[in-house]
Amino acid sequence: MLHGIQLPLLAGPQGDHRLAESHVQIEEIAIVQTPRERIVLSFSEDFTANASLFIDGKIVASAAEERFNRKKCSAGFPELAIKYCLSEAGIDFEDVDAVVAANKYHFVYRLFPKQFKDYNHDFLNLKQKVYMHYHQLVRKCWPLRSFVEWLCKSLVQRHLGRKIVLCDHHLTHAYSAFMTSGFPESLGVTIDNIGDGLSGGLFYCKDGKVRLMYGMPALASAGQFYGEITQFLGFNPLKHAGKVTGLAARGDPYKAYPLMMRFFSLSRDQKRFVLPPLLTKSFKRGLYKELAKFSPEDIAAAAQRRLEDVVVDFVQHGLEQTGLRRLVLAGGVAGNVRLNQKLHELEQVDEIFVHPGMSDAGLSLGAGLMFLAERTGLEPFKLDTVYFGPEFDDAAVESELRKFSGLKVKKDPNIEETIATLLTQGKVVARFAGRMEYGPRALGNRTILYQATDPSVNDWLNEKLKRTEFMPFAPVTLADKAHECYLGLEGAEYTAKFMTIAFDCTPKMKRECPGVVHVDGTARPQLIHESDNPSYYRILRRYYEMTGLSSVINTSFNMHEEPIVCTPYDALRAFKLGHLDYLAINNFLVKNDSAS
């Protein structure tokens, strides 16, 4: 219930047509035409549930439910995120002109919302196998598809008390990437575990419209493959796929590669992935029993290499088929920065863009953008900011500071200068300022900063934050110095603003900033311009003036297994638990006497 109202659904017709420029079949999904709406609210109830608000085609607010309820990857109706979006705009739910929801056939979260609030996902249990086969069936069976869409509409309508538009999962992902790329045309690629009967797709993106060329069946899932490997290695497959990517750099990709080829391959027509039958899979027998003889590092390395090889061939075929030379990516697998690097390095790719909220955390933004593109003719644009979350004034900060003991606090009008100085002294500084970032990456406003000159930082700072020691830290780098630090930037400078792609590091970067160079010689940078975040930029620019170094460590401000901090209370709690040296919260500098 929102604002005293029990918070429908309109779905557009669906058909096929062929673009004059392309010889591939395209699926078009249209939105029902009604008078133009100014205020659009969109949301997703899947894992990492989220909400977004648009006014006159502009993004006003967007955030994930996990940031507010403090439950990582929180699923279900994003009531707190919706309340935030409305409050940011200073409006009530009754003021919204149109409501849009992602996922047309995801009835489980809508029918059994409580069951999945804290669901510990198992990629090979009976629930997952049945759910994956349901998605395989729903895409093929029109009566089932129609019934489930009607059911989803009915459930959401009962909850909201008004009509809404339902948007297809992968089309929503594709719109999120294309509409925020600024490209006039591109090949869209979405790859994840599952969504609305598909596990991925290739899309023809042009003139502000996105059309499905062909989709990946549910049981041909790259996300399922990588998730299984993640779970087999002892990690949570929904939360820790990135740990496999980090671990992979420490192994030999060739030892287990012949076996990994049997786990994941590409069909002869190069249009879908191929996996062994899901129903008979078990971590205790068959292929996984054979895989158990290899070390975790070698398993991770082989899985990462196999993912790269198969997905690169799949995307390369789509590029050759269409003649397009720009690439946009979304879906959970697009969070794999090494895979994104390999795709960027393809000869057929001139430019690449990975949506900052590439996972299901970006579905609400994609649904809103799809609605606006189809309804109003909204054209692709470049994001001038991704700070779409809440911010807090000094009064709110001071109120929380009074609740914590053992802290020395002073107000500092030159906080950027002070942070830069502390970094030169080898201090760990957490930064909380301005609006919270959209997407999974910390981009300066909910961030922990440290000098990148210490090669041992991976061990001791990860230990403080209770994180896995083999996970590399990422740098923030002055954009005008980026070519001194990274190789192959051309065509990826824009997406590198959002820390969504890896690059090989230059000898200079390896020598001067070993704390952010992974063992494979790569880094996943955030390139910062002054216009992106003036206060954050001033810290790095001043640090450069003091040291001659253009990069520092930027890691997310959170404790292990917790979402990135959202409020002043979250920040102070994580600061104390992490035993960090300093916290710069708005213009207050907080020293932790208990830090060691």
Domain definitions of the chain by residue range? 14-182+359-376, 216-354, 394-592
CA separation for the pair 26, 438 (Å, rounded): 31
Band (117; pLDDT cuts 50, 70, 90)? low
Name the percent of the chain lying above pLDDT 70. 92
Band (108; pLDDT cuts 50, 70, 90)? confident
Lowest average pLDDT, out of 2-11, 214-223, 332-341, 579-588, goes to: 2-11
pLDDT for the residue 463: 85
- Sorted by sequence, the CB contacts under 8 Å of residue 590 that are 6+ apart come out as 401, 407, 408, 409, 572, 575, 582, 583, 584
pLDDT for the residue 29: 46
Quickly tell me which residue has 């490997």 as its tokens: 229
Fold match between domain 14-182+359-376 and domain 216-354? yes
pLDDT for the residue 162: 94
pLDDT for the residue 560: 84
pLDDT, mean of residues 552-561: 94
pLDDT for the residue 36: 65
Greater confidence, 180 or 465? 180
Nearest-5° angle of CA 89, CA 9, CA 25? Answer: 105
Q: What is the b/e burial string over 222-247, where b = at least 16 CB atoms within 10 angstroms of the residue's CB?
A: bbbbbbbbbbbbebbbbebbbbbbbb
Band (548; pLDDT cuts 50, 70, 90)? very high
Q: Is the pLDDT of residue 26 over 60?
A: no
Q: Is the pLDDT of residue 575 over 90?
A: yes
User: In this structure, which topology does domain 394-592 adopt according to CATH?
Assistant: DHBP synthase (3.90.870)
Q: Residue 211's Cα: distance from chain center in Å?
A: 22
Q: Is the pLDDT of residue 267 over 80?
A: yes
Lowest average pLDDT, out of 95-104, 238-247, 495-504, goes to: 238-247
Quickly tell me which residue has 């970067």 as its tokens: 509
Band (596; pLDDT cuts 50, 70, 90)? low
pLDDT, mean of residues 136-147: 95
pLDDT for the residue 462: 85
> What digits encode the pLDDT tens for the residues 29-65?
444 444 567 999 999 998 899 999 999 999 999 999 9
> What digits encode the pLDDT tens for the residues 488-508?
999 999 999 999 999 999 999
Strand ranges (E), 551-596: 551-556, 582-585, 588-592
145-149 LR contacts (CB < 8 Å, sep 24+): 145/105, 145/197, 148/104, 148/105, 148/107, 149/11, 149/104, 149/105
CA separation for the pair 362, 497 (Å, rounded): 17
pLDDT for the residue 334: 98
> What digits encode the pLDDT tens for the residues 423-441?
999 999 999 999 999 999 9
Q: What is the CATH number of domain 14-182+359-376?
A: 3.30.420.40
Name the percent of the chain lying above pLDDT 90. 85
Band (13; pLDDT cuts 50, 70, 90)? very low
Please compute, for residue 468, the number of CA atoms within 13 A of its CA located in the half-sphere on the CB side: 16
Band (120; pLDDT cuts 50, 70, 90)? low
- Sorted by sequence, the CB contacts under 8 Å of residue 395 that are 6+ apart come out as none
Model pTM? 0.93
Q: Is the pLDDT of residue 352 over 50?
A: yes
pLDDT for the residue 119: 53
CATH 3.30.830.10 fits 216-354, yes or no: no
pLDDT for the residue 118: 52
pLDDT for the residue 467: 78
**Is 281:225 a contact under the CB 8 Å cutoff?**
no
